[in-house]
Amino acid sequence: MGKISRWIDDRIDLKTLRAQLIDRKVPWGLTWWHTLGSATLAVFSVQVVTGVILAMYYSPSPDHAYDSIRYIEHTVLSGSLLRGLHHWSASAMVVLVLAHMIRVFSLGAYKYPREMSWLFGVALLFIVLGFSFTGYLLPWDQKAYWATQVGTNIAGSAPLIGGVMVKLLRGGAQLGAGTLTRFFALHVLLLPLLLIGFVLLHISLIIRQGMAPRPMALEIDAPARTSDPEYPAYYHDRYAKAKVADTRFWPDMIGKDVAVATVVILVLFLMAWFIGAGLEPPADPSDTSYVPLPEWYFLPFFQLLKLVPGKYESVVTVGVPLALVLILVLLPFLDRRSKRSLFHRPVAGVALVGTLLGSGLLLWGALRGDRENVRLASAGVPLTALERAGRALVKSQNCSACHVIGDQKPDSAGDVNDAPDLNDVGFRHTSGWLHSFIELPTRFHPDSKMPSYGLPKLSHMEMEQVARYLATLRGTHAMSEPPQIVDTFPEPVKKPEPQ
């Protein structure tokens, strides 16, 4: 062992590297909040390894994507757990990145000399959101399809470039095969390369500049602004003094980092194990009753769209994200006051709390409105062509001569009429049962007064149409109420035993 490390050391000078990377001193008083960045990195590593294996089974084609996900869920060993980990880690990435940003913002760590670290961080935030948007489509289930439909149309509503944008994103005029391969390529090739590149830049700056100290270490006797000519000298002097406490990167900081990362990944494992990633029915472009919801961290934005009238649509769809990018990018250049603690920056404090509260409120509104939406969507289920044809047959065969259907009452009200009311027949019987009954009622009730509508009166297709239509009649029962089927089929006639 010693021999090998000496051999390597002779060639690449590991000792210096170790002193510079591992044993370097860090400022005193680094908190648990300082572990959020490294926790994000740990979760990203989980995404890389789980993603590589998922890509081995996944097929990015509308014909096969959904089935390949089902295969992962049901056949691949621990496949469901693997996909669950990838799914929950994706959420965790967003949460951790945002939490990390809030920490950096609150401690004024984006100020001199770490403006570039902040900018790389902002780029990383949007790369992570890009991962989330592209990854959401890949399972090609209902949620994936419709959320992406909405998401790409948002890009399409941008003034001037909208038309080009939406086609570029979708790889065609409509969402389809071209979109899936495009999103897949971005998700597994371009975005990982970009992310790793920016992470390396981000980390190399931390190594070069050291970790940001506590705000109080840089506030005493500080020049008023970081742009003052004497500020760099002040900063370097104070920063050197902040490192006197002999706190070291290893194991003082790394120990905390690993502890937090372990807890985070344990939680993700439990969520993957107990909740899993979920998979809705396969994408159905013709299903107009589906209410798509984006991933929960996009919900505040989604909710905002409900609140603005059409005229200002593009203000929200384009303006809000653009303003967000601009504010984040310009922040370190606009805010040059040397105060770092949030308690000494009332405007920043109010802005942060306001943003968090506002997004929280919108998120809450979206989650609440959810339930209403689902109820709304089931309000009117249109008849299919088959069912409408059945309805026409019910009229032409004059079923209402005996039965109550809709507002039509039998003309022969005076007769002893025990024909059942058909207005809720679909609540009691399936279309299969109805078909058989219409064909030969006496099979079910030997003394039924209803004539047989089997051949040659109605063809099988026609009987099926009538049965399908009748099955849609549910009276006053809500669509959400499960039907109470009382189909009883006659005992099959026993064939005589062969002798």
Where does this chain bind other proteins (CB under 8 A)? Answer: 16, 61-63, 146, 149-150, 153-154, 156-157, 162-164, 166-168, 170-174, 176-178, 284-292, 302, 305-306, 308-311, 313-314, 317, 373-374, 376-377, 379-385, 388-389, 391-392
In angstroms, what CA-CA distances link 381 with 408, 431, 478?
A: 22, 17, 11
* Rounded Cα–Cα distance for residues 183 and 254 (Å): 36
Measured from the CB atom, is 223 or 321 closer to other proteins?
321
Measured from the CB atom, is 311 or 494 closer to other proteins?
311
Q: How far is the CB of 126 from other proteins (least distance, A)?
A: 19
CB atoms within 10 A of CB 78: 12
Measured from the CB atom, is 42 or 283 closer to other proteins?
283
Q: How far is the CB of 328 from other proteins (least distance, A)?
A: 25
CB atoms within 10 A of CB 278: 12
The residue with tokens 């920063």 is 239
Measured from the CB atom, is 273 or 364 closer to other proteins?
364
Measured from the CB atom, is 306 or 445 closer to other proteins?
306
**Of 148, 135, 142, nearest in space to 282 by CA:** 142
Instruction: Enter the tokens of residue 45.
Output: 């590593």
Instruction: Give the start-end residues of each E strand in 293-412.
Output: none
* Rounded Cα–Cα distance for residues 467 and 474 (Å): 13
In angstroms, what CA-CA distances link 187 with 51, 128, 129, 262?
A: 10, 10, 11, 26
Q: How far is the CB of 451 from other proteins (least distance, A)?
A: 24
Measured from the CB atom, is 288 or 499 closer to other proteins?
288
Q: How far is the CB of 147 from other proteins (least distance, A)?
A: 10
Q: How far is the CB of 286 from other proteins (least distance, A)?
A: 4
* Rounded Cα–Cα distance for residues 396 and 406 (Å): 15
At position 289, the amino acid (one-letter code) is S
CA–centroid distance for 374 within its chain: 18
Measured from the CB atom, is 60 or 84 closer to other proteins?
60
Q: How far is the CB of 276 from other proteins (least distance, A)?
A: 26
* CB of 247 closer than 8 Å to CB of 26: yes
Q: How far is the CB of 15 from other proteins (least distance, A)?
A: 13
